[in-house]
Chains A and B, each alone.
Chain A
Amino acid sequence: MPISNYIIFCLTLFTIGIVGVLVRRNAIIVFMCIELMLNAVNLLLVAFSKMHHGAAYLTDKASLVGAEAQIFVFFIMVVAAAEVSVGLAIIVMMYRNTHSIDINFLNRLKN
Chain B
Amino acid sequence: MNKLVYLIPLFPLIGFLINGLCRKSLSKTFISVIGSGSILASFIVSLILFFDVKSGGAMAVNPLFTFIQTSTLKIDFAFQVDQLSSLFLLIITGIGFLIHVYSASYMHEEEPQHYGRYFAYLNLFVFSMLLLVLGANYIIMFIGWEGVGLCSYLLIGYWFKNNNYNYAAKKAFVMNRIGDLGFLLAVFWIINKLGTTDYHQVFSLAQDSSKHLLSTFDVTAITLLLFVGAMGKSAQIPLYTWLPDAMAGPTPVSALIHAATMVTAGIYMIARSNVLFSMSEVTMHLIAIIGLATALFSATIAIKQNDIKKVLAYSTVSQLGYMFLGLGVGAYTGAVFHVMTHAFFKALLFLGAGSVIHAMHHEQDIRNMGGLKKKLPITHITFLLGCIAISGIPPFSGFFSKDEILAAAFAHNKIYWVLGVAGAAMTAFYMFRLYATTFLGSFRGTHDQEHHLHESPKAMTYPLIVLAILSVVGGMIGIPELMGGHHELHHFLSPILVSEKAHEIEHSTEWMLMGISVAIAAIAILFAINKFSKKPEMQDAEGFGKVLANKWYVDELYDTIIVKPLMHIAELFKSIVEKSGIDGAVNGVGRLVQYSSRQVRLLQSGQVGSYILFMVLAFALIILIWVNDGHIYRFLTKIF
Does A104 have its Cβ within 8 Å of any Cβ on chain B? yes
Question: Is B508 located at the chain interface by the 8 A CB criterion?
Answer: no
Q: Does B561 reach chain A (CB closer than 8 Å)? A: no
A103 lies within 8 A of chain B by Cβ: yes
A63 CB, min distance to chain B CBs, angstroms: 32
Residue pair A109, B606 in contact (C-beta under 8 Å): yes
Would you call A21 and B604 a contact (CB within 8 A)? no
Tell me if B66 is interfacial: C-beta within 8 Å of chain A: no
Which A residues lie within 8 Å of B616 (CB)?
18, 22
Quick check: is A106 within 8 A (CB to CB) of the other chain? yes
- The interface bits of chain A over 73-105 (1 if a CB of B lies within 8 angstroms of the residue's CB, else 0) are 000000000000000000000000000000110
**A33: shortest Cβ distance to chain B, in Å?**
11
A22 lies within 8 A of B606 (CB): no
Name A18's closest neighbour in chain B (CB-CB). B616
Interface positions, chain B 580-629, Cβ under 8 Å from A, are 604-609, 612-613, 616
A107 to B609, CA, bound (A): 10
Give A107 Cβ to nearest chain B Cβ, in Å. Answer: 3
A103 with B609: CB separation less than 8 A: yes
Residue of B604, B606, B613, B616 with most partner-chain A CB within 10 A: B606
Asked if B612 contacts A107 (CB within 8 A), the reply is no
B608 touches A103 (CB 8 A): yes
Chain A positions 45 through 70: 1 when the CB is less than 8 Å from some CB of chain B, otherwise 0? 00000000000000000000000000
List the B side residues contacting A108 at CB < 8 Å. 606
Distance of A106 Cα from B607 Cα, bound (Å):
7
- Give the chain A neighbours of B613 by CB distance below 8 A: 22
Q: Is the pair B608, A106 in contact by a Cβ cutoff of 8 Å?
A: yes
B612–A22 touching, CB < 8 Å? yes
How many B residues touch the partner, as a band?
under 10
Candidate in B604, B606, B609, B612 with the most chain A CB atoms within 10 angstroms: B609
A103, closest chain B residue (CB): B608
| Bound CA span A23–B610, Å | 10
In the complex the two chains form, what is the Cα distance from A50 to B605 in whole Å? 45
A22, A109, A110: the one contacting B609 at CB < 8 Å is A22
The complex places the Cα of A110 from the Cα of B608 at a distance, in Å, of 10
Number of chain A residues whose Cβ lies closer than 8 Å to a Cβ of chain B: 13
Residue on B nearest A24 in the bound complex, by CB: B609
Query: Contact between B604 and A104 (Cβ–Cβ < 8 Å)?
Result: no
Q: Is the CB of A21 within 8 A of B612?
A: yes
Complexed CA–CA distance, A23 and B608 (Å):
11
Of A18, A22, A110, which is within 8 A of B604 by CB? A110
**Chain B, Cβ-Cβ closest to A109:** B606
Q: How far is the CA of A85 from the CA of B612 in the complex (A)?
A: 22
Check B607–A104 contact: CB distance below 8 A: yes
Minimum Cβ distance to chain A for residue B627 (Å): 15
CB nearest to B601 among chain A residues: A111
Question: How far is it, in angstroms, between the C-alpha of A109 and the C-alpha of B606 when the chains are bound?
Answer: 6
Closest to B608 in A: A103
A25 contacts which of B604, B605, B609 (Cβ < 8 Å)? B609
A-side contacts of B612, CB under 8 Å: 21-22
Distance in angstroms between the alpha carbons of A108 and B608 in the assembled complex: 11
Cβ contacts under 8 Å, A103 to chain B: 608-609
- Residues of chain A contacted by B606 (CB below 8 angstroms): 106-111
A107 CA / B604 CA spacing, docked (Å): 10
Q: Scoring A residues 1 to 36 as 1 if CB is less than 8 Å from chain B, else 0, what string do you get?
A: 000000000000000001001110100000000000
Cα separation A108 to B605 with both chains bound (whole Å): 10
Indicate with 1 or 0, residue by residue over B74-102, a CB within 8 angstroms of chain A CB atoms.
00000000000000000000000000000
Expressed in whole angstroms, the minimum distance between the Cβ of B617 and any Cβ of chain A is 10
Q: How far is the CB of A74 from chain B (nearest CB, A)?
A: 26
Closest Cβ neighbor of B604 among chain A residues:
A110
B614 to chain A, nearest CB (A): 11
Question: In whole Å, how far is B613's beta carbon from the nearest beta carbon of chain A?
Answer: 6
**Bound state CA distance, A23 and B604, in angstroms?**
18
B609, closest chain A residue (CB)? A22
- A22 proximity list for chain B (CB < 8 A): 609, 612-613, 616
Which B residue sits closest to A108, measured CB to CB? B606
Specify which chain A residues have a CB less than 8 angstroms from the CB of B607 in the assembled complex: 104, 107
Which of B605, B608, B612 gathers most chain A CB within 10 Å? B608
How far is it, in angstroms, between the C-alpha of A9 and the C-alpha of B616 when the chains are bound? 20
Residue of B nearest to A21 (CB): B612
Once bound together, how far apart are the Cα atoms of A106 and B609, in whole Å?
A: 10
Least distance between B148 CB and chain A CB atoms (Å): 69
Which residues of the partner chain B approach A21 to less than 8 Å between Cβ atoms?
Answer: 612
The CA of A44 and the CA of B607, in the complex, are separated in Å by: 31
Complex Cα spacing A100 to B604, Å: 23
Cβ of A102 to closest chain B Cβ, rounded Å: 10
Name the B residues within 8 Å of A109 (CB-CB).
606
> Within the assembled complex, what's the spacing in Å between the Cα atoms of A106 and B605?
11
How distant is B452 from chain A, measured CB to nearest CB, in Å? 85
Q: How far is the CA of A102 from the CA of B616 in the complex (A)?
A: 21
User: Closest chain A residue to B605 by CB distance?
Assistant: A110
B residues less than 8 Å from A18 (CB atoms) = 616
Chain B min CB distance to A17 (Å): 11
**In the bound complex, how far is the Cα of B608 from the Cα of A25, in angstroms?**
10
Q: From residue B572, how far is it (CB to closest CB) to chain A in Å?
A: 48
Nearest-neighbour CB distance to chain B for A48, whole angstroms, equals 19
Q: Chain A contacts of B609 at CB under 8 A?
A: 22-23, 25, 103-104
B609 to chain A, nearest CB (A): 6
Q: Which residue of B lies closest to A104 (CB)?
A: B607
Expressed in whole angstroms, the minimum distance between the Cβ of A57 and any Cβ of chain B is 32
A21-B616 Cα distance, complex, nearest whole Å: 10
**Complex: A107 Cα to B613 Cα, angstroms:** 15
- Measured CB to CB, the nearest residue on chain A to B620 is A18
| Distance between B411 CB and nearest chain A CB, rounded to angstroms | 97
- Which chain B positions have C-beta within 8 A of A23? 609
> Nearest Cβ distance between residue A28 and chain B, in whole angstroms?
14
Bound-state CA distance A109–B608 (Å) is 10
* B-chain residues with CB within 8 Å of residue A107 when the two chains form the complex: 605-608
Residues of B near A104 (CB, < 8 A) are 607-609
Besides A103-B609, A106-B606, A110-B604, 4 more A-B contacts (Cβ < 8 Å) are A22-B609, A104-B607, A108-B606, A111-B606
Instruction: Name 19 A/B residue pairs within 8 A (Cβ), A-sorted.
Output: A18-B616, A21-B612, A22-B612, A22-B613, A22-B616, A23-B609, A25-B609, A103-B609, A104-B607, A104-B608, A104-B609, A106-B606, A107-B605, A107-B606, A107-B607, A107-B608, A108-B606, A110-B604, A111-B606
Residues of A at the B interface (CB closer than 8 Å) are 18, 21-23, 25, 103-104, 106-111
Shortest 5 CB-CB contacts between residues of A and residues of B: A110-B606, A107-B606, A103-B608, A22-B613, A106-B608
